[in-house]
Chain A
Amino acid sequence: MGAMFKRLLTTPQGAIGTFILLLAALLVCVGPMLAPYDHEALSILSRYKPPGAEHWFGTDQMGRDILSRVMVGARSTILLSLLATGLAMVIGSVIGTASAYLGGRTDEAIMRTMDALMSIPSLLFALLIVSTLGKSGINAVLAITIAFIPSMVRIARSVALAARRQDYVNAAIARGESTLYIILREMLPNIVSPIIVEATIRVAFAIMLFATLSFLGLGAQPPDPEWGLMVAEARRYFFQAPWMMLIPGLAIAAVAIGFNLLGDGLRDALNPRSH
């Protein structure tokens, strides 16, 4: 594990990604405490203030400090995206490994269902789910989870097919182990690294999808300081106060890039052939 981190930090992508995400983690943990102002305090006198010494990132149409709102909003934006990806990763890898292990008709049935799910664009699919279940942050998480499961299943299955042919799986079958044991204890631990890499990159998509849902008014609800929602609310004032839209947009981009870089770095660090 330690050697893996060392390798991760020696690659530029890995080092930059880790740095950005450490900052993001700091915001998630202690952001509300570090925020210079109350993120919900309205002020008639300081509306549309451009970035300056007093308000570093400026203020919005109600005079709320944007820096404070971005710092507080990091928690819901990043945590909910991580939750959605994590759920999709766990469910997807178990289904994918089971599909590869069972093979035959079961495999066929599972994979064709996943193909059907995959043929629907993920944003449309998420919209469909949220509009059926109702608008809320948790429903958005659920929507993203379901939209992400098929690709996770595919990746897990393709790696698990190689593991399926290994003799340790044959040895377990010959020993009379249960199907569940073989899937969870023999196969899954051997296929985690590519899945973790994929999940890391997927987090970036989840953040953007989540922001998109909030932007469309289907994720977080006002007055939450969720980043996507902030961009949506700022749209009307773009020509008056462009920073209102730019700052949360940049925050989304930075975290997404951070996860992408980390994913690239992890791919190199976890690949046994690269060292």
Chain B
Amino acid sequence: MSTVLDIRDYSLDYLVPQGAHRVLDAISLSVSKGEVVGLVGESGSGKTTLSWSIMRYLASNAREVSGSISLNGDNLLTMPQRQVEALRGGRLGMIFQDPSASLNPTLTLGEQVIEVLTRHRGLSSKEAWQLGTDLLSDVDLKDPAAMMKRYPHEVSGGEKQRVLIATAFACRPDCLIFDEPTTALDVISSAQILGLFERLRAETGVASLYISHDLALVSQVADRVCVLNQGKLVEEAPARTIFAAPTDEYTRKLVAAVPDPTRRLLAEETLSHPQPLLQINDLSVYYGRPGFLQLLRGNKTPKTVAARDLQLSVAAGEIVGVVGESGSGKSSLAKALTGLIPFSGEIDYCGQRITSANQMDKDYRRRVQIIFQHPDASLNPRQRIGEILARPLRLYGLPKGESEAQAIARLLEDVRLPAEFAKRYPHELSGGQKQRVAIARAFAARPELVICDEITAALDVSVQATVIELLLELRRRHGTAYLFITHDLNLVRQIAHRLIVMYRGDLVETTDVATLANQGAQHAYTHALIDAVPKPAQAAG
């Protein structure tokens, strides 16, 4: 096999006020024709920087120190700008993480497809339109002719990503770079995208570099996997063996952190004496309100349903997982329970009946806490950690025999952060540390139920593992119940007692995790979800 993309001893620095910061250190990597090389690393490992270096689009403070990048023998580092521009999108393509951000919202999909075709294939716009329609049908899009005339907001995320993939493959590229192409999509559409990628690759024999943070997924799509840690290539191995026998220390850590549904993290399988804590009856959440004109004309338009007639119960100390793709209504459930959005139906909390957000008193708000997905957004950037943690203490009262400073120090210690963090601002902390502060804030109220809304989705896999461990530790100590909302089925199967599956606002299945493991899923959608989760390559072959 001939080598298409060849990176030799490539190093790159970013110039920062403190001096040069090495981002990529002596990277050597090659991709042959028809081969898929996976590049795995956590955030900050330099994987996106490397992909931009290959595309020859560098930040203004980037300095290339050594090495070469060549495509079919042509050195890209010394190539004039004009030739590089002709290359991009043509022989060298790139697919990005967020398809909504990489399509222009003011142009139709067709216009954006034929722009690439007329530029790189030299077609007239009529021919290009014809070819574009064929291409869209080739990536399994229904009714491609109509699709060409639609705007990006009129199609789903998975369909947008298909359009982008179709365009990239249309120019008969030598090499394609995929930068986390399925991260922004839900599990089922990303499984479909991966299937499509597999097929197109076999048909065209393109060389691909597949970048992702998800080791299990990469081991499935790639032939070889390279592991990147802080700018250094620490391990390169065939996809089959990377899970079974990782040689490098860092890879071992990464493999161990990948959630494995068969490895339970809970000490006990079921609660011995379940005490009911929260009972939800017929809870529905609607969005949108009728417009002024519609009110005048008196016609009732159906409101958008975010959650419909949910029934759910949580016992004291129980971990209930809520699983579903984006738009399934799982976040609406969390917001309704904390009084952030209006809802209909009834919440029964320890005998206290609540039918609207106004009825949530201070005591309920203390006992039910929420932790949000993005710690960047949920911690006020203008308040010190100490201030952030002091608020619940002031609102709900200090624990007996403790001063405020002592309580803050203890809370920080409970989430394994040093006490001097109280003087820092959130931006001085890493993502994982910030999420620990958010957890500490929730536990400052001494809650009985903590709603975790995708709290590990924004974190790296190894950080996620430590946060989960911390949550379980806190539960052992305080007996807190969790409503654990996530899209990661593997993770929730590791820690939850019971599982709730939501689909488009409906609750489709409630099951014990143990039952799910023994008997399999009852509902077709749950089946589809479980099948769509990428499994480590060793299991597959």
Interface residues of chain A, those whose CB is within 8 Å of chain B, are 166-168, 170-177, 185-186, 189-190
Contact = CB atoms under 8 A, between A and B. Distances in A.
Contact of B391 (A170, A173, A177, A190): A177
Interface stretch (B130-138, B147-155, B160-168, B379-387): B379-387
B378 A171 contact: yes
B175 interface: no
B395 interface: yes
A167 B374 CA distance: 8
B97 interface: no
12 contacts: A166-B377, A167-B373, A167-B378, A168-B378, A168-B379, A170-B340, A170-B378, A171-B370, A171-B378, A175-B392, A176-B365, A186-B380
Interface string B360-373: 10100110011011
A190 B370 contact: no
Nearest to B363: A176
Contacts of B383: 185, 189
Contacts, number: 51
Interface residues of B, number: 25
B382 A190 contact: yes
B506 to A, nearest CB: 25
Nearest to B381: A190
Contacts of B370: 170-171, 174
B379 A174 contact: no
B478 to A, nearest CB: 18
A189 B382 contact: yes
B338 interface: yes
Interface of B: 335, 338-340, 360, 362, 365-366, 369-370, 372-374, 377-383, 391-392, 395, 441, 445
A173 B381 contact: no
B372 A175 contact: no
From B370, B381, B382, residue with most partner A Cβ within 10 Å: B382
Contacts of B441: 171
Nearest to B361: A176
Contacts of A186: 380
The list of the 9 closest CB pairs from A to B, nearest first, reads A167-B378, A189-B382, A176-B365, A174-B338, A167-B377, A167-B372, A168-B380, A166-B377, A174-B370
Nearest to A190: B382
Given A170-B340, A171-B370, A176 B362 contact: yes
A6 to B, nearest CB: 10
A168 B374 CA distance: 10
Nearest to B453: A167
Contacts of B335: 170
Given A166-B378, A174-B365, 4 more contacts: A168-B378, A170-B338, A175-B392, A190-B380
Contact of A168 (B338, B360, B377, B392): B377
B378 A175 contact: no
A174 B391 contact: no
Given A175-B391, A175-B395, A170 B372 contact: yes
Contacts of A171: 370, 372, 378, 441
A176 B366 CA distance: 8
B175 to A, nearest CB: 32
Nearest to A165: B377
Contact of B395 (A167, A177, A189, A190): A177
A189 B366 CA distance: 26
B385 to A, nearest CB: 13
Contacts of B392: 175
A172 B339 CA distance: 11
B395 A173 contact: no
Nearest to B451: A174
Contacts of A173: 338-340
Contacts of A185: 383
Contacts of A175: 365, 391-392, 395, 445
Contacts of B379: 168
